[in-house]
Structure 1
Amino acid sequence: YPRIFQKMLEPNADTLLSMVNNDFFKKFIRVSAAYNTLDDFLRRMDSASAKKRMESFVDGLELSASLEDAVDVADSYSSIYQPQLRQLILDRVQMNRLKNWNAQNKKGVRIYKMLDLLFQSLDSSCQVDLSKELGIDPVYEMANRLLQDSAGRIVIQQFFYGDKDGMNVFLAFLAGFNNGKWWVIQKPEWVEIVAKTGVPITIYANKPLNEQLDLDAKAQASLSNYLADKGLEPSIVIHRGHSYHLRSTIEQLAPSAKLVILGGCGGYQNLNDVLQICPTAQIISTKQVGTGVINKGLINEISETLRAGQNLNWPSLWNNMAKQLGPKYKETFDDYVPPHKNLGAIFITAFNHPEKVSK
């Protein structure tokens, strides 16, 4: 993204779009939002042009045969930090909601009503309860009991890959549980990390064996087969590889997962793929670079919270993580998206949930 403007004589977003005759400008907005650069992109054009383009981006969502455009709008909103532009988009959504109501377009009313509620939910002063309004599971927390199986156990599966980075991350992962609160049980192809006290939690993680010999893939398959044979259904699945490994993790994703953590770079771009397998899952992902320090911190915080029998309260957990990481990792952590701010995923989940159409 930075290279685009570095190579332009006039680093202006309007000029860039004019150079390509405004082709696929909506897609460019979507991609910019997905990588958390939309705010910067809009600042590179005059305010009138930004206003016009975002209005066009928001209008006419009811005319699309799929939900892709509406999901793009939902995703983009959380990447805009300019208050005036946010208000413009919210006003435009509400205008379209009323327009579709007057036209008796049920699909349009539903799309814009959901967007209206989602956008207002980011403003704490509006006190919007998305679970109540949209008829979906709570998005601000994950209940401990919902992650437990019929025997009261929480099963977590982690996917590691056998490149150099994967091996280093795996060692750091193991070190994080060397605190006297967990047993670490070594198996030939995976490890089992078992809580000594509290809620019975077991983390199953394949070893990052040599990827050039496909030994990491073999270890993943062996572990998945073992879990299936033992009737163990992961309620949390964690991806710990690079972005190019993510497809493999998703292909092996357990449908039982209620929380999916995409620790690799750009995991945010794969939300829909995850939701097709786990329609009601909460998802943690990053729009840019995934880092071992942040992923390790999140996993440890989540594991200890669950072991203590507590629910995962996302706003509280996110605030705690920000304090722990400090200013050094602030910019990188800002690119991580918690479940309650994953507007695109919430929109898909809500739209697939039966609901009465109301103004």
Structure 2
Amino acid sequence: MHHSSSESRISYSFPESTFDLEALCPRYVFEADGGTALAVQLDGRWPELFPRLPELDLILACAGHGPVSMASAWAAPQFDCYPGSSALLCLESGVELTPSAFGGGMAVIEHAATGQQLASLQFFDRNGRGCLKLLLTNGSDLDAFESLVRDHACGRRMTQFGLKTRASQRPESVPDTEMVRAVWDGLSRSLPDSSFPGLEGVSRHDALAAVGQDKAWRLARWVVRQTLQSMIEHSVPLGGAVRNEAVFLPVGFWPTHSGECSCGITLFGETSQFTLRGSQVGGDTWATRFTRGDQEVICVEFYDDCGNFAAGLGVRSEAADWQRTLWNEMLKTSGWSCLDEKVA
């Protein structure tokens, strides 16, 4: 059965009794989340599972790290092996997956308080943290989901899949300021991660502290919230990416409205979401400033409480000049007002 809706809006919930894991996998099903969900563990054959995602049709992919999570709708995503590595790459969306970093996965049916069901495939890293969630939508093929779960279901076990991950090693000293500044603009042309490109052994986080406040400055989380709310009011197109041990998920969207939730504030676009978690989640936030020709580019970068890169956010190239200026000025005014404007 292909589940569809006459509405253009993407929905992630289904009527009660749409899914029945107990009937589908009676040997393997177990209760999760204090009895509010049923789950089946997946067998870890990721090279066979992920190529089947196009069968599911339209799904919502969610990934998070530290103070940020992002979500984007995938329409029949096709993943291929990344040359020279075990990573999987979706050329259409730019998403990269590292299956060797997965510690396990489950198919989960959640029972919402409204009497609805949510169905998803959830994956965890080697430390047991959630790193990727694939939610079924009203555009998903539910029969394909049940077939995939049935084929990859297995009994609960403690076996960890993939290679062990290593804790990132932080440099013992702050990098040299002049060295960082010399290669600074090249940073804007690289895919963001926790390492600083061009300087071996230098972390991105420590480089921000060393480069000088005309290039990077700390932001309070309320400043980011205020800026994002203004971007909604002025229909500014945003783009960003979240990175964790197993997933690199880029997202581009025009935020149309926001909503408060128990974990923070979420910006909603037509097919994507951005959540900024509350201050109870550790980590810090930085503004980074680059120049491309005569254009000033300012991005927001989020780090976890260990100083690892979590996510980045900025204005998309489709933005009008006045929208880009609005974004830049709000971020500069918040943390840069004391600087000599001559350095700009």
Q: Kindly indicate which of the two structures has a greater share of residues assigned to strand.
A: 2
- Shorter-chain-normalised TM-score: which range? under 0.3
Q: Which has the higher contact order (CA 8 A, sep 6+)?
A: 2
Q: Kindly indicate which of the two structures has a greater share of residues assigned to helix.
A: 1
TM-score (norm 2): 0.26
